Structure 1
Amino acid sequence: MNTIHLAQQSPGSPLRHACADCASHDWCLPAGLDAKQTKLLDCLTVHERFIGRGGSVYRSGTAFHSLYAIRSGFVKSTMTLDDGRERVTGLHMSGELIGMDAINTGQYMCDAVTLEDSSVCAIPFDELESLIRDIPALQQYLHRMMSREIAHDYGVMLLLGSMRAEERVAVFLANLSKRYAARGYSATRINLRLKREEIGSYLGLKLETVSRVLSRFQEDRLITVQHKDVEIKDLDRLNRMVNHHDAHPRASRQAVRVVAAAPARVQPGLAKIIAPPPARVHVTPDLVF
């Protein structure tokens, strides 16, 4: 069995909290682990960083050393296109793990920027790699995270390409609602965090289209909107819009086939440690965003 020594906290070093004491432990690395296994996570040399709004978690092109668990706050991931435009590729919240797209290349593929004052835990990947050999449940958690990465990369373009603007915005709102509810917050009162143009970038829509759809939803008494605050007035109707696949069954099936066949994006040396699960990965609105 590999031995990982507990790092000593030195004066002035980043604050370190036990994983078991973290409010996000139900969605982060400890998810599915027993008390003894969770205690082993505290042997990792994890550094907690406090980052103000608009601060950088990591930058595209920098060397990959750590995965980042969001302890509190919200983070967006973006890529800069050849013409200089910024494309939003993800919206992440507490308990979610980011940086996995860098495992294969050895460098981060996008920018991760905080949308509000946030704290993140930097988890050294070499230490995590050693630890998961001894904790199968942790390996299974990484399987799920990698499956979501694969589904995002190979499924979102197919699914969004077949959806109308109203469906895209509905999926976005319904997904935020479920993620808020899973963390004990209201499922019907959400803060968008992103600006309208950022939502459009994320969903492949123009700013004007996003504004028009939100206004239409408000006129239809589906939601009320005040700046970035949205109250969902009819959650059942919103979910019915999301679950209505008649408009894009072919794209949905194609996305499932592509995702199921896609290899995990890991370095050859990690293949035996973080092997992709054999089961089919089904693309759903929960998984895509």
Structure 2
Amino acid sequence: MKKELLPVVAALLPLCAAAQQRYNIVYIMTDDHTAQMLSAYDHRNIQTPNLDRVAQDGVKFTRSFVANSLSGPSRACMLTGKHSHKNGFTNNEHGIFNGAQQTMPKLLQKAGYQTALIGKWHLVSQPTGFDHWDILPAQGNYYNPDFYNADSSYVAKGYLTNIITDKAIHWLDEERDKSKPFALFVHHKACHRDWLPELKYLHEYEDKTFELPANFYDDYEGRKAAGLTEMEIGKDMTIDYDCKMLSPYSGSHLKDAYLNMIGRLNSRDRAIYDHFYDSLSLDFEKRHLTGRALTEFKFQRYM
């Protein structure tokens, strides 16, 4: 199911670099992160106090328009300041980002900044304009993810969001040239599909029932193109890959991909994961849900 939700900039933090009298930049980008899941914009479903603090001390965009809502193309727009048809990277399935063109990090380098990129890249070509980069191949994985940089490729142990954050902090504290202003780009994979949480949060919302959006059963009247997209929870969200229910009802074309993702867990963590989802899968199987009941079940699991 394709996501219409744009990756958003979670924070842009200017910190005064006294020696240079220029601002340092930390640019934090999350993936497919809806505004309804930032309590600075909508506090009904979740509380995000640290991001709210950034918003309170900075600027909130409430009338912002996306140049391209897809993962890689949105990054290309951000880096170049150009629409997709101008920067040449229009979708995730085909093409390679042309790193020879002018980009924001190159301009920052020219202005004397030290630049670094950590996390998701998803532009196929090797990053340019960064003095340091340590990135995921393609989409990356949430559990024990692969990374690569200019010197090597390796597996990082742990949960991806924590790993990216720790790498960013380590570069700030230990690796950067403190005589220069810096621009650090921290690109998270979360909240991108397949929505695998850190294990300690598996139970976080099990007792919560989320309100259905007003347009949940939209008939797309007068909007034929929107109705043809593969984005309907009832039709396009899978039971196994998306909802994590492994049962006789599952068996989508993405099932093997899901099993490969959770197969990256070590035996202890896999046991914790399976213990949680096995009971949910068994309960789901007994209920024999169909129609709207199944669609609403998928929505609650997704949330």
Provide TM-score, normalisation by structure 2: 0.29
Greater relative contact order (CA < 8 Å, ≥ 6 in sequence): 1
Which structure's residues are more often helix, by fraction?
1
Which structure's residues are more often strand, by fraction?
1
Provide TM-score, normalisation by structure 1: 0.30
Say which one has the larger Rg.
2
